[in-house]
A and B are shown apart, each in its own frame.
Chain A
Amino acid sequence: MSEDAPNGQEPSELVVTNDLSELTRVSAWVHAWSQQHGMTDRTVERLDLCSTEAVTNIIMHGYADSAAHEIALRLDCRHDSLALEIQDDGGAFDPRQVNDPQPAATLEDAQVGGWGVQMIRRFSDGWHYGRSGDRNHLTIVFRLSHPCHGGQPRHHVVE
């Protein structure tokens, strides 16, 4: 069954371009979709952070040229698990291979960047990566504390 809802509901897919200003649209979409699918505030926070970090990484590091590229996002909710799928045509990049930054005890020793992948690792429950043709496929998985609903009005009594 498709999660796409024809009745004026937030679509389960979003395509953005490789411009950092698009992050605002990604976050608005995540929030609207989550609200319609009964996500908890905590799930929305995790989804917001992970989608922001993953798309930021692609935009900032994924492309060798300065041309416009499309990044496709999809949310897929099945029972107690939510998958955020992200596809891009940037250079091959498996974020799972990136190590967390070394913890620093002093400001002098601290590195300035490199926190994004660590955020995804800690705020999600798992991830898969694949490369097919010229595209990266990253799926970030979140376990849900209660099953999602499809955006339909909830019935208080189900018999």
Chain B
Amino acid sequence: MELTTEQLEDGVEKIALAGRMDSAGTQEIDLRFTGLTATRPALIVVDMSRVSFLASIGIRTLVSNAKALGRRGGRMVLAGPQPLVEEVLKLAGIDSFIPVYADVGSACAGLKTAAAERSE
């Protein structure tokens, strides 16, 4: 798998994942992903649009990183999953505790709204 990062406006960071998120693929990005979520209270959009396959081992990585980030006062949302990946996310009920947006733009808007609500 590939993992690339990009700093977006308003302090939101995009992590774009690409490839098959099975055990082999997840292993390739796990350390870097964890490094990005375990150290600071970031607002992170994970761009899933180029993830073609999501297995339970990939869900494990998404959930544990979202938890780590949440514990540090940050927040993680998912954006643009392909139909099969979205089906897997919904089936496992992940979308009830990690918000899933149609694209990066709406994910950023959602993140900022949530951050503003929290700081009020």
Contacts and interface: CB of A to CB of B under 8 A. Distances in A.
A113 B56 contact: yes
Contacts of A20: 23-24, 27
Contacts of A109: 97
B55 A118 contact: no
Main secondary structure of the interface of B (DSSP, over half): helix
A108 interface: yes
A-B pairs, 7 with minimum CB distance = A115-B56, A116-B56, A20-B23, A107-B97, A103-B93, A113-B60, A115-B92
Interface in A81-135: 101, 103-116, 118-119, 122
Contact of A56 (B23, B67, B84, B97): B23
Given A112-B60, A115-B56, A21 B24 contact: yes
Interface residues of A, number: 29
Contacts of B59: 113, 115
10 contacts: A20-B23, A23-B24, A49-B53, A53-B56, A103-B93, A103-B96, A110-B67, A116-B57, A119-B55, A119-B92
B91 A108 contact: no
B55 A112 contact: no
A23 B23 contact: yes
A110 B55 CA distance: 17
Nearest to A21: B24
B64 interface: yes
B56 A107 contact: no
Nearest to A109: B97
Contacts of A48: 53
A98 to B, nearest CB: 12
B98 A53 contact: no
Contacts of B56: 53, 56, 113-116, 118-119
